[in-house]
């Protein structure tokens, strides 16, 4: 696991190489509040971005 520190409005860009070409995902820290952080993701529409608690619910239902 890679842990990075970012301030409000700072970005992290990830590039994933796929057989059809690179996929670029950008993560932006939009707001930092008491106990929460709001993030914005910029990714191609066909890249699923799902909160981990939702994938855990899907795993339990299967």
Domain ranges of the chain: 11-61
CA–CA gap between residue 1 and residue 5 (Å, rounded): 13
| pLDDT mean over 5-22 | 96
The 10 Å Cβ neighbour count of residue 29 is: 17
- pLDDT tens digits along 14-36: 999 999 999 999 999 999 999 99
Contacts of 21 (CB under 8 A, 6+ apart): none
| Global confidence as pTM | 0.77
Q: Contact 33/19 with Cβ under 8 angstroms?
A: no
| Confidence check: pLDDT of 4 > 80 | yes
């Amino acid at each position: 696991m890679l842990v990075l520190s970012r301030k409000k409005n700072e970005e992290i860009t990830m590039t994933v190489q796929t057989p059809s070409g690179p996929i670029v995902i950008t993560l932006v820290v939009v707001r930092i509040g008491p106990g929460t952080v709001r993030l914005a993701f910029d990714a191609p529409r066909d890249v699923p971005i799902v909160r981990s608690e939702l994938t855990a619910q899907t795993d339990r239902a299967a």
